[in-house]
């Protein structure tokens, strides 16, 4: 039988593979050569994603009131617009190999927005459990650990793919086009 913390970490890892998460990270990710830099860049997105999940999740566990009850769909629309902007930017910018502090900040901010938009699903999926506040806090922290590790790993893989395809111009357009397309889909779906 799988332990509770391991289950929550696993759910956080699986959550990372949602299309909007992967495309957001892929479109913002810089071209870095070092594995550590790639991992930390993706992990910063995971930290940003975790901040609202933990805060809103713990407040829900204590009060049984969901703070973003009426704005969740609006935030999904904003994520759709963000994906369109990020994909468009990726199409026109020239890739650089040097580390930019702004890149990590951008990942963190986009992660926070995704965490706000997606917090409803994560929290409400757990809401029916009759757990103590300590168990709830443990769940949201472990889920967040999975998200941080997962996004760091995804960015590592995406960085390797992007570096491998730098010689094939046609494939370099794939990530921005998919990102823009999914952003349009999200706006259509939530509007």
CA distance 166 to 172: 7
Q: What pLDDT band is residue 79 in, cutting at 50, 70 and 90?
A: confident
Answer yes or no: is pLDDT of 104 > 90. Answer: no
Task: Supply the mean pLDDT for the chain.
Answer: 82
- Name the residue with higher pLDDT: 72 or 108: 108
Q: What pLDDT band is residue 176 in, cutting at 50, 70 and 90?
A: confident
Q: What DSSP element (H or E) covers 92?
A: helix 72-92
CA distance 155 to 151: 6
Answer yes or no: is pLDDT of 97 > 80. Answer: no
Summarised one tens digit per residue, pLDDT across range 6-34 is: 988 998 999 899 888 888 888 887 766 68
CA distance 49 to 179: 18
> Tokens for 187?
């706006």
Length of the chain as a residue count: 191
Q: Considering the entire predicted model, what is its pTM? A: 0.83
Answer yes or no: is pLDDT of 52 > 80. Answer: yes
Summarised one tens digit per residue, pLDDT across range 125-163 is: 676 666 788 888 888 899 999 999 999 999 988 887 777
| DSSP state, residue 173 | T
What is the residue whose two structure tokens read 């459990």? 129
């Amino acid at each position: 039988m799988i332990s509770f913390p391991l289950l929550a970490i696993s759910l956080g890892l699986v959550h990372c593979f949602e299309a909007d998460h992967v495309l957001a990270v892929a479109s913002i990710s810089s071209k870095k050569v070092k594995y550590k830099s790639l991992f930390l860049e993706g992990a910063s997105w995971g930290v940003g994603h975790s901040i609202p999940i933990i805060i809103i999740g713990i407040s829900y566990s204590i009060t049984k009131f969901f703070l973003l009850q009426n704005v969740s769909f609006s935030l999904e629309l904003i994520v759709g617009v963000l994906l369109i902007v990020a994909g468009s930017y990726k199409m026109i910018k020239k890739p650089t190999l040097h580390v930019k502090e702004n890149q990590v900040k951008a990942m963190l901010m986009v992660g926070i927005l995704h965490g706000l938009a997606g917090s409803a699903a994560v929290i409400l999926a757990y809401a029916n459990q009759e757990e103590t506040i300590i168990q709830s806090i443990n769940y949201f922290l472990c889920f967040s650990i999975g998200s941080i590790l997962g996004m760091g790993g995804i960015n590592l893989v995406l960085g390797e793919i992007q570096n491998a395809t730098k010689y094939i111009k046609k494939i370099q357009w794939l990530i921005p086009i998919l990102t823009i397309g999914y952003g349009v889909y999200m706006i259509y779906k939530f509007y």
